[in-house]
């Protein structure tokens, strides 16, 4: 990216002209000679050619991750950003790490004008989301990061989310957004139900293996761990530093709401009911997720067969990578990226295999996959704005 016009010099290529002016005010005269005109602005203000995007829930973790990813997107411009408690504030006071970008101030959804917006990322709590999406104009393409439109069976939604669904017609219309599995359906969708983070990390390895009848659909055990950002930014007692640090906390044991979502996806792959044992854990890191999955193989199947099937299924995929034989997927290797890394290992118990899958819960598990999906809907290359290397260490 060049921020320097031929006749001038800009001392920091990542800053917009407005930000440079503010710096200049603070630094007074001594830097005046270098505070000369930048030829472009950083960030991605809506130009006439850009698709105009709204981010609902921009003051939350997944919303801010959408903003971070869109900063390098050549086609999507941010037209509006909403918040609830933080409505009225500039992004710099809510997320200082985004303050170098030219972004609109946060507004309440009721004050948002969607008439010249093309698409929205909906990064709001489940339950609230269905009412809000019901009130949005029809011309909008919507990628919903919440769980509200993921379960096809309304009675299952009521059972696991504790309330009847309030937008059943929209739920029928929604397409489940597991990109690598449902790409063709997503391309034509108006409303995409972006998958949950745990279900993404579990379904990506298991769907191809179940479709190929290589693993039994009984006795699947999933031991999963998530960074704390998975729980969102709203303050909660169990998320205090003292509660989380230096320890591992299981939660939702026997009854986590991602169970029906995982089983729905695996049942679609199997063509019959699938049940899983799933236990999530909160682990003291800010982002990242690992699912360690224990499966029984079909008679006569070897671990090598699972490995070769996964290799074949994902050989043309950019974001799902089956590591070389024996290599351990690490959350470090996906931090800040849209990758899912997978590998499969023989268990000591004959006939069983262990699969490890890692993602960044905020990227492939949420905002990255959401961007991948909106790219598809809008007819852009799927990887646009998503080609980041991991942050390491």
Ligand X SMILES: CC(=O)N[C@@H](CCC(=O)OP(=O)(O)O)C(=O)O
Ligand Y SMILES: NC(=O)C1=CN([C@@H]2O[C@H](COP(=O)(O)OP(=O)(O)OC[C@H]3O[C@@H](n4cnc5c(N)ncnc54)[C@H](OP(=O)(O)O)[C@@H]3O)[C@@H](O)[C@H]2O)C=CC1
Binding-site member from 170, 178, 197, 377 for ligand X (CB under 6 A): 197
Determine, following the binding rule CB under 6 A, whether residue 57 of this chain makes contact with ligand X: no
Compute CA distances 307 → 35, 276, 344, 346, whole Å: 56, 21, 6, 10
Determine which one of 46, 122, 197, 340 is catalytic: 197
Q: Is the CB of 90 or the CB of 346 nearer to ligand Y?
A: 90
Determine, following the binding rule CB under 6 A, whether residue 80 of this chain makes contact with ligand Y: no
Binding-site member from 84, 156, 243, 317 for ligand Y (CB under 6 A): 84
Q: What DSSP character marks residue 237?
A: G
* Shortest CB 226 distance to ligand X, Å: 4
**For this structure, is 197 an active site residue?**
yes
Which residues make Cβ contacts (< 8 Å) with residue 321, sequence separation at least 6?
314, 339, 340, 341, 342
Binding-site member from 331, 333, 361, 372 for ligand Y (CB under 6 A): 361
Token look-up 């379904």 returns 203
State which of positions 130-149 bind ligand X (CB under 6 A). Answer: 146-147
Residue 78 binds what, of ligand Y, ligand X, none (CB under 5 to 8 Å, by partner type)?
none
Determine, following the binding rule CB under 6 A, whether residue 57 of this chain makes contact with ligand Y: yes
Q: Are strands 340-346 and 320-322 parallel, antiparallel or unpaired?
A: parallel
Assess contact for 34 and 11: CB atoms under 8 A: yes
Determine, following the binding rule CB under 6 A, whether residue 90 of this chain makes contact with ligand Y: no
Determine, following the binding rule CB under 6 A, whether residue 265 of this chain makes contact with ligand Y: no
Residue 280 binds what, of ligand Y, ligand X, none (CB under 5 to 8 Å, by partner type)?
ligand X
Which residues make Cβ contacts (< 8 Å) with residue 31, sequence separation at least 6?
11, 23, 24
Number of residues lying near ligand X (CB under 6 A): 10
Q: Tell which phi-psi region holds residue 379, choosing left (phi > 0), alpha (psi between -120 and 50) or beta.
A: left
State which of positions 253-292 bind ligand X (CB under 6 A). Answer: 280, 282
Q: What DSSP character marks residue 215?
A: B
Helix-then-strand count for the chain, H and E: 12, 14
Q: Is the CB of 251 or the CB of 392 nearer to ligand X?
A: 251
For the chain, the first-to-last Cα distance in angstroms comes to 25
Assess contact for 54 and 120: CB atoms under 8 A: yes
Active site residues: 197
Question: Residues interacting with ligand Y, by CB under 6 A?
Answer: 57, 59-63, 83-86, 109, 123-126, 128, 145-146, 196-197, 229-230, 232-234, 361-362, 365-366
């Amino acid at each position: 990216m060049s921020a320097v016009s031929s006749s001038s010099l800009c001392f920091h290529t990542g800053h917009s002209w407005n930000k440079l002016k503010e710096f200049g005010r603070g630094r007074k005269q001594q830097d005046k000679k270098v505070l000369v005109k930048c030829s472009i602005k950083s960030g991605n203000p809506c130009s006439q050619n850009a698709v105009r995007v709204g981010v609902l829930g921009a003051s939350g973790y997944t919303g801010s991750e959408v903003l971070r990813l869109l900063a390098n997107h050549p086609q999507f411009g941010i037209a509006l950003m909403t918040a609830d408690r933080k409505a009225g504030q500039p992004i710099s006071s809510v997320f200082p790490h985004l303050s170098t970008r030219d972004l609109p101030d946060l507004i309440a959804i009721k004050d948002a004008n969607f008439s010249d917006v093309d698409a929205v990322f909906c990064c709001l709590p489940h339950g609230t989301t269905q009412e809000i999406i019901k009130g949005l104009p029809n011309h909008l393409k919507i990628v919903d990061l919440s769980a509200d439109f993921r379960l096809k069976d309304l009675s299952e939604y009521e059972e696991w989310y504790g309330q009847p669904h309030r937008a059943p017609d929209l739920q029928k219309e929604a397409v489940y957004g597991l990109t690598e599995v449902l790409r063709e359906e997503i391309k034509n969708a108006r409303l995409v139900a972006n998958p949950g983070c745990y279900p993404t990390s579990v379904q990506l390895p298991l769907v191809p293996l179940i479709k190929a009848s290589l693993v039994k659909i009984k006795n699947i055990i999933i031991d999963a761990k998530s960074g704390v950002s998975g729980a969102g930014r709203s303050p909660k007692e169990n998320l205090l530093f003292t509660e989380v640090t230096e320890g591992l906390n299981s939660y939702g044991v026997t009854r986590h709401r991602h169970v029906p979502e995982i089983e729905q996806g695996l049942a679609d792959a199997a063509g019959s009911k699938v049940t899983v044992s799933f236990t999530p854990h909160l682990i003291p890191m800010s982002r990242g997720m690992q699912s360690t999955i224990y499966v029984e193989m079909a008679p006569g199947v070897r671990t090598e067969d699972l490995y070769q099937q996964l290799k074949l299924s994902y050989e043309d995929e950019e974001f799902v990578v089956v590591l070389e034989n024996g290599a351990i997927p690490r959350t470090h290797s996906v931090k800040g990226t849209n990758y899912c890394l997978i590998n499969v290992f023989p268990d000591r118990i004959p006939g069983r295999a262990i699969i490890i899958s890692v993602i960044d819960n905020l990227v492939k598990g949420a905002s990255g996959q959401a961007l991948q999906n909106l790219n598809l809907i809008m007819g852009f290359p799927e990887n646009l704005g998503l080609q980041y290397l991991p942050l390491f260490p």
